[in-house]
Each structure stands twice: as structure tokens, then as C-alpha cells.
Structure 1
Amino acid sequence: MSAFLSELGRRLAEKWLTALVLPGLLFTGAVLLAATLRHTHALDVDFLLSRAASYNRDVRGTGSTAVLLAVSGALLAAAGAGLLAQAVAVPVRVVWLGRWPSPLGPLSSALVRRRADRWQRLQARYAEEVERPRPDRAVIDALAARRNRIAPAPPCRPTWIGDRIAATDRRVHLEYGLDLTSAWPRLWLTVPEEVRAELRAARSALDSATTTAAWGVLYVLLGLLWWPAAVAGAGTLTAAWRRGRSGAGELAELAESTVDLHGAALGAALGLGTADAPLTRELGRRITARLRKGA
């Protein structure tokens, strides 16, 4: 048990160092640069070197205790910055998933309408091509790809990531009559460990992108004091958004695939069917009715 606790502590320390302290040290350094250079000397290397030399002389003149305190302060500031980034990641996640607060309701509704109109136009063209006497397969595939780049199901969120995640629930319900919100905790308990590992990795990738975006927000705010930080923040936000889209797409695909491949096993675990039988709409409805318990 002591060996297990020691290994657990080591892994937690490594995760804390990687997730909080190292990015926090980088941000703390950027804050020091911003406080030193400001907009006036934003890219003035000579000014920075002279200030650094002066600070170094001051610290060395006060002895090793001051150096130790400075290092400790930097580490504490880095950890604090990491905790701040994790806090900022919460509203970033809300924005990405399209669950915007009521004051942003009008903007959210306008964006949803815009996305839905584009989706419906492409869906109408897709349906028209499919119903032709001699449909063109290449045209059908191209229209489907363009429509699905907006969302795999009719848009209901103001953001791509929000629609991609929400589409999983809607597609599963339309195909199988299964309420994924009710079924997912039970399905999680029935799938093999390797499936759960894949899902955890996909969720971790999305969470990591969210935290990266939070750092981007902090750098953009720091740009109010030192404009190069805003440039770095904008680049970080762009990279984070792309990673977030990729992570959300992978997570949604894995979740839907889990239902496709293991949904019948959930029915069998509930005594409503056999694991080797396909998941049908009838079985999906029965699973939903059982899990909702009349609610």
C-alpha cells in the first residue's frame, strides 16, 4: 500500500507540475516582462537587459535568503496562475459548448438561426439530389460533407463544438429511440475498460484544449499592459479552438460508436434483450423507459 501511495503521489506531483507550474512559470515571466517593458519599451531588448542586470545586482546584494524567497515567490505565483487558468477554463467551456447565460440569449439565438438556415439550405439541396431519378453520388457526398461540416444534426447551439456534442444525443435518439443522458452512466459501467480509456483520452484532449484557451484569455488580458502578450494570446486561442474542435469531434464519434457497438449489451444487462442482438428502436425505447423509471 505504501508503494502504491508513493507512486500515486509521484504521478499527482508530475501532473501538478505539468498542468499548473510550468505554464504558470511562463505566464509569470510574461507578467514580469509586461510590468518591466509596458507598451513604451515593448520590444526594447537593451532596456530589458539593463533592467535585468540592475535587478540581478540588487538581489545578489541582499544575500541567498532573498534569492530563495524570490524563487519561492515565483513558484507560488506560477501555481496561482495555474489555478487561475483552471478557473477561467470553466467559462471558456461554457462558451464552447454553447450553453450561454441568459444575458447572451439574443446573440445565441441569432447565431443558432444563422447556422440552422445554412444547414437547412444544404439539407434541402441534399434531399433534392437524392430524390432525383438518377442522383449523382459525387454531388450527394459533397452536399452531405458540406452540411455535416456545419453540424451532423439540425443546429441547436451557437457554436460548432456545442452542436457537435449535442448532435450525438439527437442522432442516437433519432436512430434508436434512446435517451443518451439517462443511458450514458449505465452504459459506462457495461463497456470494456479499453473503451473507457479511449473515451477518457478524448475527454482529456478536449479539457486540455479548454485550459489552453484559458491561458490564451489571460495572455490577451495581459496585452492591455504589454501588447506582444495579446499577440501571443490570440495565437494561443486560435490553436486551442482548433484543438477543441478536433477533440470534440473525436469525443462525439467515440460516444456514438460506443452506443452503436455496446448499446445492446446495456439492454442485456437490464434484462431487456441479449448482448448479441442488434440495438433496435424498440429496444432503445424500452431501455429509455426502464431508466427513466416513469419520470
Structure 2
Amino acid sequence: MSAKFLEGFGNKLAEQWIANLFAPAFVFWIGGILAYIYRYGWQSIAQWFPDAKFEPLQVGILAIVLIVVLISAFVVQRFDTEVLRGLEGYWYPGIRDLGRPILDRMTQSQIKRRKNLLNRWKKLHEKYNQHQLSALDRAEYVRLDRVLRQFPNLGDDFMPTRLGNILRAAERRPYDRYGLDAIICWSRLWLLMPDSARKELQDARTELNNGVRIWTWSILFLIWTIWTWWAIPCAIASAIFAYCWILDAATVYGDLIESVFDLYRISLYQSLRFPLPNNPAEEKEIGLKVTEYLFRGLQKDFIQFTTPPNGEKK
């Protein structure tokens, strides 16, 4: 009976089982079992599997364990967005009010860090203009150029964390360059993108969510300190690894968001029947009106709709 159950179960869920075997939820619960064994010994677990005659009971226990693991994985996954926003620095109102001094200090630290990096970049930029950069200076110049792109341009836009600034900078660049608010325009632009662009964005966002999920499970792993001390270094090491993963994934995701506006914003203008800009300065003005039009609507004749490409009125 148990053999048939396991065989049927394996045939139906083989791919899902393999995919989730080394997922954070499984590692979390396996770590908990090891911590329990470390505290109480192997016999405390072995007593649940006393004899082969009770094989159906053993299969039932394994099935219950599997269900618990899968349900916990689903529950934690539902909080991916909330955890990500917390790591960015968007805290809930009650917590935010209590932690306002800490958030302010963290934000000022990020502003100071950008200022120091910018000062160093300016010195290297002067040497670059004078063709006096050494190989090491050139490598640092490129690195600083990349890092500075991960900060917003205005102090009011700064977030308390590095992750928050990476994503905020990606959101602000379309507005600074084209006058298009990323949050307001994104849902419309998404519908106009080709499938290949959507897939790249979905893959990048999945990678970002995976890092957030591992970070969440790493913090939850501290629960097992009730049984063993080594849960603390394991949780800290895993959380640091996950946060580095999140930063890299957020950088890629932010670059893709910026690229989408660079490549497909014209489709947004055309779909809304807005006139195409003739130069960058005019585009910023039109982009601001597109943002306002999508957000609140334009009640005056600031913009004359263009004729659709097929010549038919919509």
C-alpha cells in the first residue's frame, strides 16, 4: 500500500518535489529537525518509525511533513512584496513612526555616502578629461559611475537603505529624463510591451523575489535557537548572502525598467494619440502631460490628439 502510494505520489509530483527539495522552506524545516536532534538526540525522532509493520503510519507522517512544508512555503511567498518593501525602507505607519529617528539617520547616511562617492568621481572625471587616468583609476572611475546610478538625484527621493535607493533611482530616471512617472505609466506600458520584454522582466522580478524569500527564511531560521546555538551564525550568514543576491537582482531589474521606457515609450505616446516629441526638451514637456493625463486627466486643450496610423478616428 505504502509503496503504491509513494510511487503514485512521485509520478504526479516528481517535478514539483525536485524543484522544492532544496528550496528555502525545505532547508528551514530540515534545519529545524537537525536542531531538534542536536538538542534531544536521534532517538526522539526514531521513535516515530519504530518498525516496518507500521509503514502506513510512517507514510502518513511523511505526507503530513510534506504538506506542512509546502503550506509554509506558500504562506511565506505571499509576503514577498511586504518584505521587499520593508527592506527598501517602506515601514508600516505604526512601526515607521516609532523608528523615524532610525530611518532619518539611515537616510542621511545614504545621502552622505553618495556625496562622498560623487566627490571622488568628480576628481577622477577631471583626470579623465585630461587623459591622466591610470589603469586603477579607470577601474575605480567605471565602478563609481555604476554605483552612483544606484542613487536618486534629489535628496528628497532618498531611501534609508541601499536596496531602496537602487529601486527608487530606477523609478525616477524615466521621470527625470522623459517626464514619465514609472508608477503611473507602468501598467499601460506593460500592455504595450512585446512578450520577449515581459519575459525578461518577469524573470528578473522572479530572481528578486527568490532572494527576498531566502532572506525571509534566513530570519525565520533564528527560531531554532530555542534548541541550538548554531542556528544564529547559519541564519546571519544566509541572510547576508540573500541580501547580496537581492541587491544584484534589484540592479538588473532596475536596469530593465529603465530600458523598457527607453525603448517602448513611443508606443505609449502613439496608443494615447499624443504627438511625438521632436527633441529631448519637448519630450520632457509632453511626458509630464502624459503622466498628468493618465493620473488625473487633462481638462484643457494642452494637447491635440493625433490621427491613428490607419486614419480612423477612435
Q: TM-score range by the shorter chain?
A: 0.7 to 0.9
Aligned match of 1:181 in 180, 183, 196?
Answer: 183
Tell me whether 1:76 sits opposite 2:93 in the alignment.
Answer: no
Question: In structure 2, what is the Cα distance between the partners aligned to 1:282 and 1:11?
Answer: 57
Q: Which runs of 5+ in 1 are unaligned?
A: 1-9, 42-46
- The CA deviation string for residues 184-204 of structure 1, in whole angstroms up to 9 with x for no partner, is 111111111100110000000
User: Contact conserved, 1:268 with 1:275, CA < 8 A, in 2?
Assistant: no
**In structure 2, what is the Cα distance between the partners aligned to 1:133 and 1:234?**
41
Cα-to-partner distance string for 1:212-248 (whole Å, 9 max, x where unaligned) = 1111112122133222233322222122111111110
Name the amino acid aligned to 1:178: L
Bigger CA drift: 273-282 or 210-219? Answer: 273-282
Aligned to 1:149: 147
Specify the code of the residue in structure 1 equivalent to 2:32.
V
Work out the CA distance in 2 between the residues paired with 1:89 and 1:272.
37
Write the distance in 2 (CA, Å) between the matches of 1:195 and 1:68: 45
Task: Find the counterpart in structure 1 of residue 110 from structure 2.
Answer: 115
- State the secondary structure of the residue aligned to 2:64: helix
What does residue range 66-105 of structure 1 map to in structure 2 within 5 Å? 66-86=57-77, 89-101=80-92, 102=96, 103-105=98-100
> Residue 59 of structure 1 aligns with which residue?
50
Which amino acid is 2:257 matched to? A
> How far 1:287 moved relative to its partner?
1.6
Cα-to-partner distance string for 1:23-48 (whole Å, 9 max, x where unaligned): 4343333222222322xx7xxxxx54
- Hey, what's the Cα distance between the residues in 1 that align with 2:13 and 2:168? 33
In the alignment, does 2:289 pair up with 1:286?
Answer: yes
2:30 is matched with 29
Shift of 1:206: 0.3
- Structure 1 contact 25–74 (Cα < 8 Å) conserved: no
Please list the CA deviations of residues 106-156 of structure 1 after superposition, one character each: whole Å capped at 9, or x if unmatched: 211111101101212333454576579955574698457336526332461
Residue identity (%): 22
Q: Distance in 2 between matches of 1:179 and 1:130?
A: 31
Match of 2:8 in 1: none
CA contact 1:213–1:237 (8 Å) conserved in 2: yes
Per-residue Cα deviation, 1:50-93 (whole angstroms, up to 9, x for no partner)? 555x526x531762232122212211222243235335645531
Return the alpha-carbon distance in structure 1 between the equivalents of residues 269 and 139 of structure 2. 34
Contact 1:202 1:251 survives alignment (8 Å): yes
Once residues 271 and 282 of structure 1 are traced to their aligned partners in structure 2, the CA distance between those partners, rounded to angstroms, is 16
Whole-Å Cα distance in 2 between the matches of residues 236 and 112 of structure 1? 25
1:155-187 CA-partner distances (Å, limit 9, x unpaired): 611111111111012222111111111111111
TM-score of the pair, normalised by structure 1: 0.78
Partner of 1:264: 266
Cα RMSD (Å) of the superposition? Answer: 3.5
Measure, in 2, the Cα distance between the counterparts of 1:194 and 1:202.
Answer: 12
> Using the alignment, how far apart are the partners of 1:291 and 1:90 within structure 2?
25
| Aligned residue pair count | 276
CA contact (8 A) 2:24 2:214 kept: no
Which consecutive aligned stretches of 4+ in structure 1 deviate over 6 angstroms post-superposition? 10-13, 275-279
- Residues of 2 paired with 1:159 and 1:16: CA distance? 36
For structure 2, the residue ranges without an aligned partner over 5 or more in a row are 1-10, 299-314
